[in-house]
Amino acid sequence: MKIAGVIVEYNPFHNGHLYHLNETRKVTSADVVVAVMSGSFLQRGEPALVDKWSRTRMALQNGVDIVIELPYVYATQKAEIFAKGAISLLSSIGVDELCFGSESGSIHEFQNTIAFVDSHEKEYNERIKYFMSEGNNYPKATSLAFQSLQGHEDVLDLSQPNNILGFQYVRAIHAQNAPIRPTTILRTKAGYHDQELTDTKIASATGIRNELLSKGSPLESIQAYVPEPTYNELQQYKETYSTFHGWHKLYHLLRYKLLTASPVKLASIYEAEEGLENRLITMAKTAPTFQDFMVAVKTKRYTWTRIQRFALHILTETTKDEMRPALEDRAPYLRLLGMSGVGRSYLNEIKNSLPVPLVSNINQFHHPFLTTERRVNQVYALGFTGKHQEEFLMKEYKTSPIIL
């Protein structure tokens, strides 16, 4: 039996994701597709548009067989740690092949780049430090360091977001000695960060969210860019809760935290460094909206994503001590969010031989990562009001894995 893995956010699941999923089945000849998916908060430090259960249904209805949650302690990290957590989960559940989208489209470029960086590791790290000392942020510094070293063309463009993630996936497979064969498919048309809907059928998740949140466009405006199950799920979610989630629902809470917490407490929050928390406090005093706040805080040295993740950790009170195990350890459990009939059969076959616990009910399993998960989901719930807030406060405890 061939088991393929994908690492996703599905925020929301769109036509590009469907293409990737179909190509994954084609190029891997997979019998089962496992998706490791971020939960309530995402890698760029933002709340998911709709909750993890709705996104799980989207995944299953569009062809995924098993959805496993990527814990918050990995999901809201830079690419290296994000990849480390996701790969360890895929390895634990028995995945044979990983298929990811990239701007490169050539797995040989990824393998060549890994070998090249490993053979120049000391010099590579020194050049990263140099370019950061010049005022560049970390992603830009790593790209410049690589460009200054590379001696041939058959390597990656590490300035591209999907190439960066793919590079870290392949590197994590090597580092963990995971029995997973990586493969990649070319990402075309809409770019990862494209905010406008320019094609007739393919748009980035960023563009779709921008249309719904920033522009306030009706749901019909994105119908052409998502599969029918996704559109139906979004429509039902909007009818039920009257809104989609975003930082605009939580900024008042972040502002409260920044203006009332002690400097010592803020300095203990994960990703606090070089007094960055003081800059956030200053800007929170005058910025009336989250967009205004981010524009005011952003600098050349600190990317939008870096600041947004720090803001999220302040909001959820996630400390450096709390995150430290994620930097050192592999994912300690598999939390099941949903499965198809095929996925259920596969799990029944392997559940007694899994190297880590399979968790379907968080009330019956205890781990510090799940303690964090419970807390951050309570914060996510505070973006709602009234009876919907009460519902979301209990969803983490009452919702069973979805079976399609």
C-alpha distances in angstroms, 200 versus 18, 216, 226, 233?
Answer: 15, 20, 11, 21
17 belongs to an annotated ligand binding site: yes
Q: Say whether 7 counts as a known binding-site residue.
A: yes
User: Would you list the DSSP string of 158-198?
Assistant: TTSHHHHHHHHHHHHHHHHT-S-EEEEEE--SS-TT--S--
Burial of 105 (0-12, 13-18, 19+ CB in 10 A): middle
The verdict on whether residue 8 carries a ligand-binding annotation is yes
The tokens describing 253, both together, are 């809470």
Residue 108 annotated in ligand binding: no
Q: Is 101 among the annotated ligand-binding positions? A: yes
The annotation status of 162 as a binding-site residue, yes or no, is yes
Does the annotation flag 45 for ligand binding? no
Has 82 been labeled as part of a binding site?
Answer: no
Helix (H) or strand (E) holding 35: strand 32-38
On whether 112 is known to bind a ligand per the annotation, the reply is no
The DSSP symbol for 399 reads P
- Both tokens of 282, joined, read 């200053």
Quick one: which H or E segment has residue 3? strand 3-8
Residue 241 annotated as part of some ligand binding site: no
Tokens 């390597």, located at residue: 155
330 is in an annotated binding site: no
Cα 356 from chain centre: 22
20 labelled as ligand-binding?
yes
Report whether 87 belongs to an annotated binding site. Answer: no
Q: Say if residue 18 carries a ligand binding annotation.
A: yes
Binding residue positions: 7-20, 101, 162, 187
Binding residue positions for ATP: 7-20, 101, 162, 187
